[in-house]
Amino acid sequence: MPHSPTDGGSLRTRSLLSAPWIKLGVLQKTLSRRKLLSRNWLKAKRKFAKEHEHVADFRRDLFFKLGILLTQDYDALISEDLDVEGLVQRGETGTRRRRLYDSTFSELRRCLEWLFLRRGRAVLAFPANNTSHECFQYGKINQNLTMEDRAFRC
């Protein structure tokens, strides 16, 4: 899922986070084949937990690097209060739901808010009601838009 700043650019992070999921799947399969609480099960569990920690650290590092880039270029962070649980429930495919769970919006937002406030920048949040369905110029609301529609023109 790309993150889009106001200057029209986008930051693709999906390819960076897809390889660890493959390794986690292999480790999970290895763990499931071990006898519960055996020595080999404990070793596999340790490896699996270590890889999970590696993915979390990598993601957090990526968020802080993104935050540093954004604080250098922008004076304010304006974010939308997304209902991620609602988005996950409305996700049509399993891949979309998994990617929404993987995106960790709350952690990204927390890192960005911390960096912006630390550098004395403004942080604003607005409610997500009809933001993608509403025309920004005239206020007209189109309820027929789906998640695949990227732009709304009235």
Return phi, psi of residue 125, to 5°: -130, 140
Q: Tell me what pLDDT residue 1 has.
A: 41
Q: What's the token pair of residue 21? A: 């999921």
* 112 CB neighbour count, 10 Å cutoff: 21
In this predicted model, what pLDDT tens digit does every residue of 55-102 receive, in sequence order? 889 889 988 999 999 999 999 988 888 777 777 777 667 777 777 776
Q: In the numeric block, which tokens belong to residue 40? A: 């080999």
User: 12, 49, 11, 10: which is closest to 27 by C-alpha?
Assistant: 49
Least confident segment among 18-27, 39-48, 88-97, 118-127 = 88-97
Q: What is the DSSP letter of 148?
A: T
Exposed e or buried b per residue across 65-80, where buried means at least 16 C-beta atoms within 10 angstroms of its C-beta: ebbeebbeeeeebebe
Q: What is the pTM of this model?
A: 0.71
**pLDDT 10s digits, 103-151:** 778 888 899 999 999 999 998 888 777 666 777 677 777 777 776 666 6
Q: How far apart are CA 55 and CA 147, in angstroms?
A: 27
